[in-house]
Amino acid sequence: MAVIYKAQDLALGRIVAIKILRPSLTGDPAFITRFRQEARNVANLQHPNIVTLYDVGQDGNTNYMVMEYVDGQDLKKLIRTSAPFTVDRALNIGIQICGGIGYAHRAGLVHADVKPQNVLVTHDDRVKVTDFGIAQALSVTQPQERQQVVWGSPHYFAPEQASGETPTPASDVYSIGIVFFEMLTGKLPYNGTDQQELALAHIREQVPHVSDVNPSVPQGLDRIIFKVMSKEPANRFRTAEQLMRILETYKSQGGEATGNMPAAINNPLSAPTLSPQNSQPQPSQPYPMIGGGQPNNNPAPQYQQPQPQYPRIPGGTGSLRVQSAPQNIGNQTIPITGAQRPATGSMPPAYSANSGNTGSRPSTGMYPVIGTGPYNPDGTGPRSPDYRTSPPPSQIDIVSIVLGFIAFLAVLGLLPLWFAVWNTWTAGR
């Protein structure tokens, strides 16, 4: 549709990119309208991962846009020369793509043509999304509505776009999934000899797994991409921003800590474990254990909670429950008591594995009280935790008094009825 030139702004002394509508299209009102629509779309998008629009205008029959110059190359060229990418690099680029597209979704736009050619990458892997030429406003988007012209790229558009339906944010999410697949494998998931075959492949063929092409891709990431490439829009993530949060959580948890995603997306954090060789918590675990250590006469070391905040899962409650489970240390088993920990709170006091808890814990608070029963490493003297609960209320509350008074009045109201029944019965005798 257009030709891009690298130019210099003589007034401001900066390098810019000038996008000029091809002269052969200047006589077509549809292309001129689309060109100007792109300018309006991009003008309202100010985001680090979207190419910034500086100016738009017309000089005779020449329609142009002055845009931010990105010193790099498009993602398609990088894929051809460097794919498959490492998981970290693919996540880094993919999260930035989701950031830019997700911002457009919040601004009420569907990109509708997400593909590597429209993703510019700098030398330090900073991403800029461009070409919103066929973006559509969400306010006029009608799902299931058929279009006379199917816009988009056949290798990357969603099945609903291939069917002629109006694209939605979930359509962009699908296209991002195809880009992820290509970054991690160097190949496209669907192929065809022409556009019709490609469209049918998106609609009918089974969704492939990334790990089938590149076995080094972690299972958790494979499941996320598989969900993103679902045929039905309702089975994908609704917006690119939601997908970005999922990917950020996956990355921050060390990848495989969220290996059950997205099937168990509401609770991806697993209970911490201790290695048989070392009682210290493993660095990949989200929370270090409390207590632990070898069961001997020495008290267990105290472990501090790390300072960085852990990301919350969308839709979560902001807290983490560590399940009670025995932890194996060599041939010995130490019971670890579960606790409800707030996401931003502090860890409860440490306790001794042999002599009970050494810290002061509230009897009715969030943390269960650890008993002081005997404990032997061989398991012959299991501990018997003593659980203390808050005493029952010693006084009757106002609600009970009011209910009792109402019941008393009800009984008094029935007394005349009882006397009338008694008199009737005695008179009949």
Count of Cβ atoms closer than 10 Å to residue 214 Cβ: 18
CB–CB of 98/249 below 8 Å? Answer: no
Number of DSSP helices (H) and strands (E) in the chain, helices first? 10, 15
Question: d(Cα 301, Cα 289) in Å, to the nearest integer?
Answer: 10
SS3 content of the chain, % helix, strand, coil (to 5): 35, 15, 50
CB–CB of 180/198 below 8 Å? Answer: no
Q: Containing H/E element for 20?
A: strand 14-21
Find how far residue 251's CA is from the centre of its chain.
10
Find how far residue 226's CA is from the centre of its chain.
15
Which SS3 state, helix, strand or coil, does residue 120 take?
strand
Q: Which two tokens stand for residue 160?
A: 């609903």
Phi, psi torsion values for 189, nearest 5 degrees: -70, -30
Q: Which two tokens stand for residue 290?
A: 């409390």
Question: d(Cα 300, Cα 351) in Å, to the nearest integer?
Answer: 7
Q: Which two tokens stand for residue 370?
A: 């650890």
CB–CB of 90/82 below 8 Å? Answer: no
Find how far residue 273's CA is from the centre of its chain.
25
CB–CB of 269/247 below 8 Å? Answer: no
Q: Which residues are catalytic?
A: 113
- Number of residues that make up the chain: 429
Which SS3 state, helix, strand or coil, does residue 155 take?
coil
- The b/e string for 76-101 (b: 16+ C-beta within 10 A; e otherwise) is bebbeeebbbebeebbbbbbbbbbbb
